[in-house]
Chain A
């Protein structure tokens, strides 16, 4: 569906709070600024957790969609501050 492909895929489906955010954090540590991360989650808490986590760390939520039960976030990593 989306035309952009991610550099890193974080499959956090089935994981519950706080693990989706932890998985995203670990992935972000290995990424360069400006890369694209795709986070997939099924925990409804991720709806607020992932954007809040991204905002706190200077990442940008490019898109947020739902595919069936899967919540899909595309995140552009920011510069570390």
Chain B
């Protein structure tokens, strides 16, 4: 065959070599894929329990080398409000998953003052287990360069001012979020 001289010239390169090289090159190319390094998270809930997932996941994504943005909309605005400590609460009413020390009927959990009891209970449970506070997680997110974007439309709807929000919070709309999200392999709606 005419290919034979070529074979002798390149006898060093085996099929295994080719497979290995292709795999390495593909791996390098995929690593450079911006989609793998970009994440876009929507935080739509404004209760104490739901403040944790977006902040934890965003900081973890940043720790594995991703550029992440959290888009806070509707009740999610509570998380980046300057008064988040007071605004973020958790209620046992309508939340049968909430673990209570003793079983309580809704009539009891619906009594005035119970929201602050359940909120304090959850905060204590978390601090007993040495889970970071929402404030600490927000600080971590900022240290990790997670972008915190408040939805301008809901800011207006709820009658907030931009100055009501934590330092470093940006303001944007749905299209700005989508422009980021379409480039991200990771998009979460929380």
Which residues of A are in contact with B by a Cβ distance under 8 Å? 14-19, 21-22, 24-26, 49, 52-53, 56-57, 81
* Given A22-B63, A24-B63, 16 more pairs with CB closer than 8 A: A15-B130, A16-B131, A18-B59, A18-B60, A18-B63, A19-B132, A19-B140, A21-B60, A21-B63, A22-B143, A25-B63, A53-B63, A53-B64, A56-B64, A56-B65, A57-B64
Q: Is the CB of B143 within 8 A of A26?
A: yes
Q: Is residue B31 within 8 Å, beta carbon to beta carbon, of the partner chain?
A: yes
- Report the separation of the CA atoms of residues A74 and B154 in the bound assembly, to the nearest whole angstrom: 47
**A7 vs chain B, min Cβ distance (A):** 20
Contacts A/B (CB < 8 Å), 29 sampled: A14-B130, A15-B130, A15-B132, A16-B129, A16-B130, A16-B131, A17-B56, A17-B60, A18-B56, A18-B59, A18-B60, A18-B63, A18-B132, A18-B140, A19-B132, A19-B140, A22-B59, A22-B63, A22-B143, A22-B144, A24-B63, A26-B143, A49-B60, A53-B63, A53-B64, A56-B64, A57-B64, A57-B65, A81-B31
Q: Which residues of B contact A49 (CB under 8 A)?
A: 60
Q: Which residues of B contact A15 (CB under 8 A)?
A: 130, 132
From residue 22 to 37 of chain B, which have CB atoms closer than 8 A to chain A?
Answer: 31
Q: Which residues of A contact B131 (CB under 8 A)?
A: 16
Q: Which residues of A contact B140 (CB under 8 A)?
A: 18-19, 22
**B76 vs chain A, min Cβ distance (A):** 19
Q: Which residues of A contact B59 (CB under 8 A)?
A: 18, 22
Q: Which residues of A contact B143 (CB under 8 A)?
A: 22, 26
**B36 vs chain A, min Cβ distance (A):** 10
